[in-house]
Each structure stands twice: as structure tokens, then as C-alpha cells.
Amino acid sequence: MTGRFAAGQNAPLTARRVRFTARAAGPLDVCALVVDTNLQVRTSADAVFYNQPAAPGVDLAGDAVVVDLDRVCPQAAAVLLAVSSDRGPVGALSTDLTGPPGSGPATFDAPAGGAESAVICWELYRRDGGWKLRAVGQGYTGGLAELFRAHGVDVDDEPAPPSPDTPATVPVEPEQAWERTWQIFEDASRSAAAFVSAHDYALHRLDEELSAAVSDPACRTGPAADQARAEANRRCDELIAAARARHAADTALLTEELRAVGAALPAAMASWDAPAWQRPGLGGNGLRIGELGAPDRDSPTLPLCLPLPLRRPLWVDGDSVAAAPIVSALVVRLLAAHPAARLDIVDTAGALSALTDVVSFAVTSPVVRDVPDIGPRLRDVAHAVDLAALAATADPGAEPPAPRIVVLAGIPHGYTRDDLMHVVRIVEASATQPVSVIIVGEDDGVTDEPLLDLLSQEAQHLPVAPGTHMADPWTGTDWQLTLDTAPDRDGLRRVVAALGR
């Protein structure tokens, strides 16, 4: 179902769950109609919009409509996906249908109409026991009310959209905090991908039009040729300007949402100056590791958080001194998420002294500072997590063990093969036990040790070097990652003191 569609074009729809989003120069509301073979709803309950956010198999999810085809009413012949604007004509419109993670979107750029303030963008319809999709682009000058009436929805007056003056309240439950930040990241990624796609399309069309303008040797010069080139450049500039305006509008909305959500995040996911550090103890289900940005396209700056509990070790790639501020930030945030956690630290180079000085309350055994002490400590930790796993198996209803944070700096130097075997056991336990492992070292491939390779492959790598780039998991759009660092020693004392420990 991937690719760019023209009005009327159809294709098989293999995904069983799709997400519809749309962008224009101004704000939009998305909606859906579940209709029969005559494109009429059975009841007004089959209209999904801001005042009625769900019907069987169709749900309004923020600025998107999500359709689960397996749950759509069996009597329904089609689902119409549309947009409306309460501020006048919709104008040039870009829409996407996306399926499972990793699949590319189906894109339809509806042409700018006249006074249409509602547009049917896509039709998902049953055909020969399966489903197909069709790009539509049918507009209605009477807005959402006219669109609804045309498909049998009982509408006395056009439904009033939520007032833009109503202050947004963004309650964030600790157990849902990571999902909220991930949803914002997804929305920002799709907005960025739409901008990049529209920008590239405008340049591609410009190239084609300029090539056509000079294809006839007899018409390459003169006033007509100059005018053709000028018109091609004008159309390109208009397309890019419209795309930039849509992206700017998305960015403004996402920035406001980030502001509201950011003020409610638990400390483990919040910036150091956020209110959460004045009210610790909320826990949360995410761990902030840094920020994502894209200065070249003016996208919003986004917090990048990983879900908790960590099921993979975090490997901070770099020497211990350069990695120390990053490791300190991770440890303090993990302690904010797990107030009762036990902390084990191996730091033979002494690079983490600023951290170990202020988190001594959580360090249950002395920090390992000598190479000969690495093996005994790792053996003890591995034995403890193994016993906890056995206890959980013997009595599934028993109280879970206290969370454990294990920091291993300086790998691979000073670690024997037996030491690495203990580390592997600890990492394996994190799949079922509340164990968070942070590895610090330069993964340069110099050491020919299979266990080290195994750990490297299993880990989530966090490069210390600035300017690291990553692609988002939905559209493959490029983002620049800046890892979070802890404040200086005094600042670290202040945020740790806020933990109440």
C-alpha cells in the first residue's frame, strides 16, 4: 500500500491496522465515516470525530484516525477518512496512511481546491473478501456538516470543535509517561517526513519541468522559455512554502504539547529544571537519555526516552572520563525511577567519583576501584540475581526483589573472561528481574573475545561523540541525538537531594 497516490488510484490493503493523518497550512480535524454500499451510515454513531471519538474498529487518537479492519462492523462496506477545517478552506492538503512499524506510508496530496472546508481523502473498502484503499479528494464547501449530511449522519447544526482558547490539560500517569513521549515523537517524525517528502517532490517536479522547457531546441531561449522557467520556479517555491507552513504549524502544536506534557513527566524522564525534581517519588515507566533535534528543518526538540524496566544493557561508547557525565545522568534518573534500588559500581579509573560521592546512600557495597576486586564483586551480583530469579520461580506471588543498578566502567580493560561471563549472567537476568546494567567502554573491536561481542550486540549503544544521528522507527527520517549529561558536582548534589535520600 506504499507510495504516492493520485486521485482515484486504488491498491490492495494488506495491513490490518492503519493510521490516517493529514496536514495543511492551517489546523485540521480528522474524522471517519463507516458506511454501507451506498456510502451511507447505518446510524449517526458510525461517524467518528472530535465529539464522538470511537466506533467499532475506528478510533480517534489525537490528530489521527486509527482503523482496525478486523473490528470494523461486518455489515460495513467501507470506511471514509476525511478532514475538516473550522477556519475556512482546507487548501493544499497532504495525507498519509501508515501500517505496521517499518512499512512505508501511502501518501495522497489532495490539490488545493476553492472554498472546500471538508475533504474526503481516502476510502477503505471491502473487495472480494479483502480490503482495498482508494485516494479520493472529494471536497465539500459546507464543511463537516455538509459532508456528514451527504452520508446520512443526522446533523442539526455543524458540530462545534473544541475551543482553541481552552487551556490544554495534559494529565500524565507515571505508568503511561513513556507512551506519551513516544506518541509525540511519532507525530513529529511523520510531520518531518511529510515536509521532506513534499520538499523533495517540489524539487523533482521543478527538475522535470525545467527539462521539458529545454527539450525542444527551438524553444530553449527567448521570452517564452524564460517565462516557462520562471513559472516552474514559482510553482516549486509555492510547494515548498506550503510544506514549510504545514510543518511550522505542526511544530507549534507539538511544542505546546511538549511544554504541557514535560511539566507533568516524572523525574526519570524530565529535564533537570523540570518541576518533577521538586516532587520526586513518582517513579514512571521511562528513562530519558537525551534530546532529538533537526536544526536544518526547524523540527521541535524532543526528549528521547527508553521504556522501563530496561531489557537491554546501555553501553556508553567512550572512555570513562568522557562518559562520566552521561553515566551520572542515567544513574540519577534510574534512582528517581527506582527509589529503593541497590547500586553496584565498578570504577577502576576513578572517573565516576563525582557520582559515587553523591549516591553513596544507594551503594550497598564499596565501589570497586581495584582490578583484582572486579571478579569477586561480579560473582556476588550474578549469584544474587540468580537467587532472586529462583525465588521468583518458586513463589510467583512473592514480593519482587529490590531493583538493582549495575555500572561497569572501563570495559574491557581489567575484565577477565570469567568476569565477562558473570556480566552475561547479570544481563540475562534483566529480562525477568528488575536489573539495569550500564556498561562504559570503547567498543573498538580490539579485543578478540566472543563474550564481549555478545554483550556489544545485546546492548543499546549510546555514543559519547557529539553529532550522532539516528533514524526514527516509523518513517526513517534523520534526527540528531544529543545525549543528556548530569549537572556539575554541586548541581548533581542538588538533584540527588531532591530524591529525598
Q: What is the pLDDT of residues 296-343, one digit of tens each?
A: 888 899 999 999 999 999 999 998 999 999 999 999 999 999 988 999
Q: Reply yes or no on whether the pLDDT at 442 is more than 80.
A: yes
Mean pLDDT score, 455-472: 90
pLDDT digits (tens, 9 = 90+) for 31-84: 999 999 888 999 888 999 988 888 999 998 888 999 999 999 998 999 999 999
Contacts of residue 233, Cβ cutoff 8 Å, sequence gap at least 6: 206
Contacts of residue 328, Cβ cutoff 8 Å, sequence gap at least 6: 352, 354, 355, 485, 486, 492
How many whole angstroms separate alpha carbon 172 and alpha carbon 180? 8
* Predicted local distance difference test score (pLDDT) of residue 225: 78
Residues of the chain with pLDDT > 90: what percent? 44
Q: Reply yes or no on whether the pLDDT at 406 is more than 90.
A: yes
* Predicted local distance difference test score (pLDDT) of residue 160: 45
Is residue 443 within 8 A of residue 456, CB to CB? The reply is yes
How many whole angstroms separate alpha carbon 147 and alpha carbon 41? 12
Mean pLDDT score, 468-478: 87
Q: Which residues pair with 468 in a beta bridge?
A: 481
Coil vs helix vs strand at 305: strand
* Predicted local distance difference test score (pLDDT) of residue 157: 45
Average pLDDT over the chain, rounded to whole? 86
Residue type at position 332? V
Query: Within 10 A of 438 (CB to CB), how many other CB atoms are there?
Result: 23
Mean pLDDT score, 198-210: 83
- The residue with cell 511544542 is 255
How many whole angstroms separate alpha carbon 196 and alpha carbon 475? 11
* Predicted local distance difference test score (pLDDT) of residue 401: 86
Residue type at position 84? S
How many whole angstroms separate alpha carbon 78 and alpha carbon 81? 10
pLDDT digits (tens, 9 = 90+) for 152-193: 998 754 444 444 443 344 456 767 789 889 888 988 888 888
pLDDT digits (tens, 9 = 90+) for 360-399: 999 989 999 999 999 999 999 999 999 988 888 888 888 8
Peptide bond into 412 cis (omega under 30): yes
Residue type at position 218? A
* Predicted local distance difference test score (pLDDT) of residue 164: 43
SS3 content of the chain, % helix, strand, coil (to 5): 35, 25, 40
Coil vs helix vs strand at 320: helix
- The residue with cell 479492519 is 69
pLDDT digits (tens, 9 = 90+) for 210-261: 887 777 676 677 787 788 888 888 888 888 888 888 788 888 888 888 888 8
* Predicted local distance difference test score (pLDDT) of residue 379: 97
How many whole angstroms separate alpha carbon 112 and alpha carbon 260? 33
Q: Of residues 404 and 247, which shows the higher confidence score?
A: 404
DSSP codes, 105-154: PEEEEEPP-SS--EEEEEEEEEETTEEEEEEEEEEETTHHHHHHHHTT--
* Predicted local distance difference test score (pLDDT) of residue 282: 62
Q: Of residues 434 and 157, which shows the higher confidence score?
A: 434
Q: What are the φ/ψ torsions at residue 306 (nearest 5 degrees)?
A: -105, 150
Mean pLDDT score, 27-31: 90
Separation of CA 378 from chain center: 35
* Predicted local distance difference test score (pLDDT) of residue 162: 44
* Predicted local distance difference test score (pLDDT) of residue 249: 83
